[in-house]
Amino acid sequence: MTEQKPVSIRDVAQMAGVSIATVSRVINNNGRFSEATRKRVQQAIDESGYVTNMAAKSLREQRSKTIGMIVPDISNDFFSTLALHTEQKLATDGYSVFVCNTANSTERERDYIRTLVSKRVDGIICISGSNALGEEAVPQSIPVVCVDRFPGRDSTIPRIISNDVRGGNLATEHLIERGCRYILFISSEEDDLNKRNREEGYRQALREQGLAIDPAYRILLPGHKPSMFEAAELVSAFLETGRPLDGIFAVSDHAAVGALNALQHAGVLIPHEVKIIGFDDSIYTRIAHPSITSVRRFPERLAHAGCDALLRLIAGEQVPLETIIPVELVKRASTAA
């Protein structure tokens, strides 16, 4: 049995009674053609089963219509939401997306970047990540945009970030306004610019209100276990010191929930004795009891700004080196009293 020859664009043109150029214009939706012609060509495509040869098309246009997306941990709800909006936005612009989950491994990230370059992707979006992006691993010919991530010092890679300093400031100001004077700050040992910026906002608020910045009220999660468990353990240990405590600002909702669990286990009343604020406004803040006040970031706005920047770079346009997306404080029961 002989193999059936694939339907060509010439075959479609003959079936529709138009030129090959007209079929091409209809497929690519550019140039001039009537609605009647479009319907005739589309009917010929449907009946013949013609499929555009994207590989050949990408060679002609020097574009693959594919984008690589680097994600540190796809199981993290904020990262996965950010990745989802990124993929959806790029899909509306006709791009397919290769999602690469690095599991926070620098070596794995570099391997993925090499693979993406070998696949001739049109650009790469790097979503979050605790480490600075190793620019030496990315050829200068490949447009790259960092979303919610710092690409490194003196970098020419555009970055789309949330206003984390403002977020830390908002959270700490709110605790102070609610009467808190002994505020525990919870972060992690990872060298993460986002978390450092949130701490800077926390420190700014304390300085502005004339409150001391006490190192004893700064605890860092080592990252050996999920942050929720580590936060619970370290807050429990802090309570055993007997130091006064009336407020907690955690740079993630996971850590905030862990702190909440530790306080409740110790019989501390929330928010009457201690008030808690997290960061990200994830689902955990709404299902906790009491619900947790949190700083809201906007993953959809971050994703869309990142996609727009990358597509502009691919088109040869210049884009701002830094775009900052605002944040807002969402007040809930954990700071109500």
* Whether pLDDT at 131 is above 70: no
Q: Assess contact for 292 and 277: CB atoms under 8 A.
A: yes
Q: Which residues, other chains included, contact 168 with Cβ-Cβ below 8 Å and sequence gap of 6+? A: 197, 198, 199, 200, 201, 202, 204, 205, 249, 251, 279, 295
The most confident of the ranges 2-11, 71-80, 143-152, 304-313 is 304-313
Residue (of 201, 81, 76) closest to 129 by Cα position: 76
Going by pLDDT thresholds of 50, 70 and 90, the confidence category of residue 134 is low
Question: Residue 130: its pLDDT value, please?
Answer: 59
* Whether pLDDT at 328 is above 50: yes
Question: Residue 93: its pLDDT value, please?
Answer: 87
* Whether pLDDT at 2 is above 50: no
How much is the average pLDDT of 314-326? Answer: 92
The predicted-structure confidence for 265-302, as pLDDT tens digits, reads as follows: 999 999 999 999 999 999 999 999 999 999 999 999 99
Question: Residue 153: its pLDDT value, please?
Answer: 59
Q: Assess contact for 221 and 227: CB atoms under 8 A.
A: yes
Question: Residue 4: its pLDDT value, please?
Answer: 56
> Does the CA dihedral 210-195-300-161 come out positive or negative?
positive
* Whether pLDDT at 7 is above 80: no
Q: Bigger pLDDT: 294 or 35? A: 294
* Whether pLDDT at 249 is above 70: yes
Residue (of 250, 283, 288) closest to 270 by Cα position: 288
How much is the average pLDDT of 28-53? Answer: 77
* Whether pLDDT at 160 is above 50: yes
* Whether pLDDT at 60 is above 50: no
* Whether pLDDT at 195 is above 50: yes
Going by pLDDT thresholds of 50, 70 and 90, the confidence category of residue 43 is confident
Give 317's Cβ-side CA count (13 Å radius): 8
The pLDDT mean for the chain works out to: 87
Going by pLDDT thresholds of 50, 70 and 90, the confidence category of residue 1 is very low
Parallel, antiparallel, or unpaired for β 144-147 and 159-162?
Answer: parallel
Question: Residue 54: its pLDDT value, please?
Answer: 44
Going by pLDDT thresholds of 50, 70 and 90, the confidence category of residue 137 is low
Least confident window among 170-174, 198-202, 220-224, 257-261: 220-224
Question: Residue 128: its pLDDT value, please?
Answer: 74
Q: What is the DSSP letter of 205?
A: H
Question: Residue 253: its pLDDT value, please?
Answer: 95
* Whether pLDDT at 330 is above 90: yes
Residue (of 258, 236, 253) closest to 295 by Cα position: 253
**φ, ψ at 114 (rounded to 5°):** -60, -40
Q: Which two tokens stand for residue 17?
A: 């009674």
Going by pLDDT thresholds of 50, 70 and 90, the confidence category of residue 55 is very low
